């Protein structure tokens, strides 16, 4: 069977990468809009309603407008913006989130694609909340370092100018108003009562992302050890193809002395780590911000929704 797919916003970073994933597939017919009609509401509406699956790779306002254009009950929307990530009626497109999430994605015609920072954070934290090790009212923080491709075409152009201006040559913390757009989903889909104090940092490499969540063992359920934290992650993701829980205090990383933020690039994989002392643990989650952090996750959700092999086109 061939499925018709339309990417609304096909010229953006996420849209282009989705096209790359779909290009080699014989089960997908990609519907393309003429360049001179990309902003024509009638043509966009026609293609959205002709598709079995339509990816919305648009700013939030435009994604909401596109969703209102769809009146074909058979069209499944997968929205890559932040517009619907905590909205009622939209399934969160993270199949590994919890038991039953794949069923929700398969049943829904409205799927919100997770953000890159939030995917890494949620995958690290949700198992501890579900296992009762991390209280829902815990006050925690998180830091994320990411490649500049996460900022889209304008930031890519900024970082790839030559010569590179001096102010871009060092890592740049941002989100200093503490209102990052991923915060609502970070709380909603971990089960935490409040989002973390979150510090994102962009640096001079193209892609790759790592989120770090520091915790005192005293913040966790009484008697919790680094071993039980690691066991909660391993149990939660047992059998998951794209989630790789590394050994406790990963020896290879410790021997090297430095963490490789880019080791998941060009994959749909997430690596999860637990580093620990006698009194503290450091959760770390690594992914490709353009893969599992964006386009790869969207294609994975499409596969789940259509009842296809989940890894089709992703490995």
Which residues are known catalytic residues? 116
53 contacts 47 by C-beta, under 8 angstroms? no
The answer to whether 129 touches 190, Cβ cutoff 8 Å, is yes
**Which of 121, 25, 101, 10 minimizes the C-alpha distance to 315?**
25
Strand partners, 212: 143, 284
Whether 242 and 315 have beta carbons less than 8 Å apart is answered as no
How much of the chain is helix, strand and coil, in % rounded to 5? Answer: 35, 20, 45
- State the alpha helices, DSSP H only, in the chain: 13-23, 41-50, 60-69, 101-107, 116-130, 152-159, 183-188, 226-236, 251-256, 296-306
Give the sign of the dihedral formed by CA 251, CA 252, CA 257, CA 261. Answer: negative
Extract the tokens encoding 6.
């339309």
């Amino acid at each position: 069977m061939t499925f018709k797919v339309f990417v609304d916003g096909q010229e953006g970073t996420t849209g282009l990468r989705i096209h790359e994933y779909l290009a080699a597939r014989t089960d997908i017919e990609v519907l393309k809009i003429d360049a001179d009609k990309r902003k024509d509401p009638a043509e966009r509406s026609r293609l959205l309603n002709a598709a079995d699956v339509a990816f919305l790779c648009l700013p939030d306002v435009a994604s909401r407008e596109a969703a209102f254009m769809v009146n074909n009950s058979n069209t499944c929307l997968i929205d890559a913006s932040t517009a619907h990530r905590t909205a009622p009626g939209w399934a969160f497109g993270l199949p590994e989130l919890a038991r039953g999430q794949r069923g929700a994605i398969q049943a829904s015609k409205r799927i919100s694609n997770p953000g890159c920072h939030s995917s890494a954070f949620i995958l690290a934290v949700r198992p501890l909340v579900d296992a009762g090790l991390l209280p829902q009212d815990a006050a925690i923080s998180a830091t994320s370092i990411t490649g500049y491709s996460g900022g889209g075409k304008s930031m890519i152009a900024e970082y790839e100018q030559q010569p590179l201006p001096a102010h871009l040559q060092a890592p740049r913390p941002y989100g200093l108003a503490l209102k990052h757009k991923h915060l609502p989903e970070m709380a909603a889909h971990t089960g935490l009562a409040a989002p973390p104090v979150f510090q994102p940092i962009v640096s001079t490499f193209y892609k790759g992302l790592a989120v770090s969540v520091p915790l005192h063992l005293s913040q966790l359920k009484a008697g919790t050890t680094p071993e039980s934290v690691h066991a909660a992650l391993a149990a939660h993701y047992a059998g998951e193809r794209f989630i790789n829980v590394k050994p406790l205090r990963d020896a290879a990383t410790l021997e090297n002395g430095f963490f490789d933020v880019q080791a998941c690039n060009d994959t749909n994989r997430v690596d999860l780590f637990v580093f620990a002392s006698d009194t503290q643990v450091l959760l770390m989650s690594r992914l490709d911000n353009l893969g599992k952090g964006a386009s790869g996750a969207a294609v994975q959700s499409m596969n789940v929704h259509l009842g296809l092999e989940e890894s089709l086109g992703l490995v």
